[in-house]
Amino acid sequence: MATQLAPNVYVTDIERSSRFYMALGFAELDRMMAPDGTPVWAMLQREGQRFFIERAEPGKRLRASVLFYLSVDDLGREVTRLDKAQIEHTPPEQKPYGMKEITFRDPDGYEWSAGQRTQPY
């Protein structure tokens, strides 16, 4: 088995965050519930990449200094996906390091970028 890094991200609302990530093309693979029936954790995956979302306890700090970056083959498809889900994003911008990128935020304020290579390494 290959080593994989799967971040665990604290969120304020599992349902809301799961819907957001599913609009980005992730699938929810698993979920844990509290005794009162509310969701407290979920595992999401897109193209073999997994991460977890966990309900933050009151007072838990959100928006850690992390930037999530999606390297994609077709940035236009990502823009269409975001537009369909009515997720605000920046316009595609060509960067001097050979990538065309957009940025957006998830419901808890985590910053995301998606980029497509436009020039060879």
- Residue 116, C-beta contacts closer than 8 angstroms, at least 6 positions apart: 71, 72, 73, 74, 75, 99, 100, 101
Q: What is the pLDDT of residue 60?
A: 73
Q: What is the pLDDT of residue 63?
A: 64
The pTM score is 0.82
| CATH 3.40.50.300 given to domain 1-57 | no
Per-run averaged pLDDT (10 residues), the chain, 121 residues: 78 96 97 95 95 87 79 96 97 95 94 92 78
Do the two domains 1-57 and 66-121 of this chain adopt the same fold? no
Per cent of the chain over pLDDT 90 is: 76
What are the domain boundaries of the chain? 1-57, 66-121
| CATH 3.10.180.10 given to domain 66-121 | yes
Q: What span, in angstroms and rounded, lies between the C-alpha atoms of 113 and 103?
A: 4
- Write the DSSP assignment of 43-82 as a string of letters: EEEETTEEEEEEEPPTT---S-S-EEEEE-S-HHHHHHHH
